[in-house]
Structure 1
């Protein structure tokens, strides 16, 4: 069978299996085994266990459970509430400052936890009721938190970036640095829209708020500064050549857990057990998907599907930006239905040779891909962040949350356009800190 036709058949079967409700990892293994048996015979399955476990034989994978423990420790405390309150006190005089402080809290908490749903839940529980009480439109209140939560997969340390680095054999340190400026740009775009939407609402209550004394502003800082110091320390250790990402993640996880115990009195063995249990569940899920995706990639390569697609794309007489536009549409649609980790692991092995052949930087592409995945987090039908916000504020309809999120989706699309026009937004910092790649 023609490899391109076979590739279409694999894509259809994969979508069908994943939509059946089975887990992503099991679905990938079922599709891989089925096509290997059908076209290479039963003996081809002998390599599956070796590939499955071999994919996990990677020292860099240790950073995933460590960063997840780091995020779970933060999410199990009042760090999100304290971070929100600290920014709210310091930005009290800024026009529309409450929504600005919420987005700032989302960005910082996302950087600390690396989890979009956790960010939405932690900041939204405090921020949404307060914004509504102050007169902010429901759409702005819900949409800003839903969009702010997506920053967890872009701003470092990001588990999504680690997965991309492992799948494409790209420097994780460069990927982390590449997400910094685009992440800040997105925060700025989100804030600009929120302030404009607030001003357009015409309710002066949201622009005029009480003030805090300097004592009140400073007394909240000791609760949040240690966490921020750990984030900065983790980044310094990685980029200062002190330790590898895995070693840095382990130290960061330990320090974060200790701070949660010391500052937030997380003494209970039950609470610590919950952190470790939840972290283990999430880590195993991600690692299982990584292993299954390795088998899936082997099947694609063994049946010459990956090579045939790359060769076919190379023969197309189209502008490379038209090609990139088609890739973005594909990623956008995939992100509507699948979690970011699954999309990256399935698509990266196929897309990497295509984008490099077309002359695109894989580091730059990682940021574009991640922003596409962010859009999926606040878009139906899966749109996990939408349902998290709906759970926090059930009296705000899902339609209102979705409508309030749409301007932020447009802001993300604008960010992709700006990255396409000025790719150095993503590549400048990695080149300055780690040197330009040859």
Structure 2
């Protein structure tokens, strides 16, 4: 069976399984079993080994910790304080508190390094508040799913570490290169929220009165506990006291202390937060395990490698090669998580990238943005699954709400291709000075 026939078959199986209501993890595993059926590989052994290895990853430890931190904040006054503190500063902007999703994700991305953890934590805090205040559900969900992808780009980024190790490029340079594109993406997302709100005033809550500067400063005091929490987590990472995984535990500990100081922590709320975090973490871990089975199957079948080799054989000029690679990674995003895409294709595509004259630091940032696009692309957009777990909504309804942010990510890819210094100027300046 050719690669295109096999790709079409796997897409049909996946869409059919999801349409029948099969759990996402089981749907991914089913696609893996269909792929493995075309080989002589023992499927039972692959299934067991992949599930176990995906469930025992040390990097996965940070995910439940950050989700638990979000549950603690949700049950304390800290989430409401965040809205109270930010509200006076954004209430005159079109979109008003919908910007909290973008700003919150941008800040938390600098803490977690994970798209899923960013989406789950900020969503647990912001979605109930926005719903309670009368904001349009599609705006709230779409802005959360889109902004959650910032967790992959703004340092520290797990996926940039994987890429840097794979191509033997400086991880410090990659981290610095991700700062300006990450901030630009946040600005693009906020700009879209403003435009949408201006075009749909009937779907926005009533405009609030202008707040004097003195009241703004008073309200900003409500942000102090959240600021201390962020400073503690980020400071533990950049101060060298903790890795991003260990910093998640620091975040949980600080959240418990702050919740206790506010009088919001009791045995009941502690138990509720822990159980809710366990349920959400298990849902995400189960999907990751299903994705790991599919990733292993794709490796045995050789589909990503064959697609990459096919593109390499076309002999495309640099910009056409970049467009083809973008389509390739978005297509692979229908089956694989971002790290798996990089691991499975790097060895094949890097000679093409080097021959085309692309800077490896620049290409790393481009690759992360394309992977971000895959995070919000159905049927296997991981951020979509996280939000589905938070809201219980239909996956494709969430995908429709997220589509404008997918297009904005595509705009960012074009800008990065036309103006490479968006990614290269800051590392070149900083490391030249050093």
TM-score normalised by the chain length of structure 2: 0.72
Matched residue, 2:230? 231
Which one of the candidate residues 275, 278, 282 is aligned to 1:277? 275
Matched residue, 2:412? 415
* Cα displacement (A) at 1:243: 2.0
In structure 2, the CA distance between the partners of 1:192 and 1:303, relative to structure 1 (3 Å rule), is: closer
After superposition, what is the alpha-carbon deviation per residue over 1:224-244, rounded to whole angstroms, capped at 9, x for unaligned?
222223223323332343322
Contact 2:105 2:122 in 1 (8 A): yes
Matched residue, 2:338? 344
Matched residue, 1:268? 266
* Cα displacement (A) at 1:124: 5.7
Contact 2:32 2:297 in 1 (8 A): yes
Using the alignment, how far apart are the partners of 1:375 and 1:29 within structure 2?
A: 19
* Cα displacement (A) at 1:316: 1.7
Using the alignment, how far apart are the partners of 1:173 and 1:323 within structure 2?
A: 27
Matched residue, 1:287? 285
* Cα displacement (A) at 1:125: 5.5
In structure 2, the CA distance between the partners of 1:81 and 1:316, relative to structure 1 (3 Å rule), is: same
Alignment partner of 1:21: what SS? Answer: coil
Alignment partner of 1:284: what SS? Answer: helix
TM-score normalised by the chain length of structure 1: 0.71
Using the alignment, how far apart are the partners of 2:265 and 2:400 within structure 1?
A: 39
Alignment partner of 1:52: what SS? Answer: helix
Matched residue, 1:301? 299
In structure 2, the CA distance between the partners of 1:276 and 1:5, relative to structure 1 (3 Å rule), is: same
Using the alignment, how far apart are the partners of 1:97 and 1:118 within structure 2?
A: 24
Matched residue, 1:148? 143
Contact 1:90 1:217 in 2 (8 A): yes
Matched residue, 1:362? 364
Alignment partner of 2:228: what SS? Answer: helix
Alignment partner of 1:30: what SS? Answer: helix
Using the alignment, how far apart are the partners of 1:329 and 1:71 within structure 2?
A: 35
In structure 2, the CA distance between the partners of 1:162 and 1:218, relative to structure 1 (3 Å rule), is: same
Q: Does 1:107 align with 2:103?
A: yes
Using the alignment, how far apart are the partners of 1:321 and 1:419 within structure 2?
A: 12
Alignment partner of 2:95: what SS? Answer: helix
Alignment partner of 1:39: what SS? Answer: coil
After superposition, what is the alpha-carbon deviation per residue over 1:333-357, rounded to whole angstroms, capped at 9, x for unaligned?
787x89xxx6536755555455534
Matched residue, 2:319? 321
The within-5 A match list for 1:58-73 is 58-73=57-72
Count of aligned positions: 405
In structure 2, the CA distance between the partners of 1:207 and 1:49, relative to structure 1 (3 Å rule), is: closer
After superposition, what is the alpha-carbon deviation per residue over 1:86-117, rounded to whole angstroms, capped at 9, x for unaligned?
2232456xxx4363554146412664494547
Structure 1 residues without counterparts, runs of 5 or longer:
133-137, 392-397
Using the alignment, how far apart are the partners of 2:48 and 2:199 within structure 1?
A: 59
The within-5 A match list for 1:21-420 is 21-40=21-40, 42=42, 45-90=44-89, 96-97=92-93, 99-100=95-96, 102-104=98-100, 106-108=102-104, 111-112=107-108, 114-116=117-119, 119=122, 122-123=125-126, 145-150=140-145, 151-155=147-151, 162=158, 180-193=179-192, 195=194, 209-212=209-212, 214=214, 216-263=215-262, 265-329=263-327, 343-344=337-338, 347-353=341-347, 355-359=349-353, 361-371=363-373, 373-374=375-376, 410-420=407-417
Contact 1:110 1:116 in 2 (8 A): no
* Cα displacement (A) at 1:185: 1.8
* Cα displacement (A) at 1:332: 5.9
Alignment partner of 1:97: what SS? Answer: coil
Contact 2:62 2:246 in 1 (8 A): yes
In structure 2, the CA distance between the partners of 1:309 and 1:258, relative to structure 1 (3 Å rule), is: same
Which of 421-430 and 269-278 deviates more? 421-430
Contact 2:143 2:405 in 1 (8 A): no
Using the alignment, how far apart are the partners of 2:392 and 2:54 within structure 1?
A: 38
User: Aligned-pair RMSD on alpha carbons?
Assistant: 4.7
In structure 2, the CA distance between the partners of 1:427 and 1:14, relative to structure 1 (3 Å rule), is: farther
In structure 2, the CA distance between the partners of 1:148 and 1:179, relative to structure 1 (3 Å rule), is: farther
Using the alignment, how far apart are the partners of 1:69 and 1:50 within structure 2?
A: 28
Using the alignment, how far apart are the partners of 1:4 and 1:156 within structure 2?
A: 30
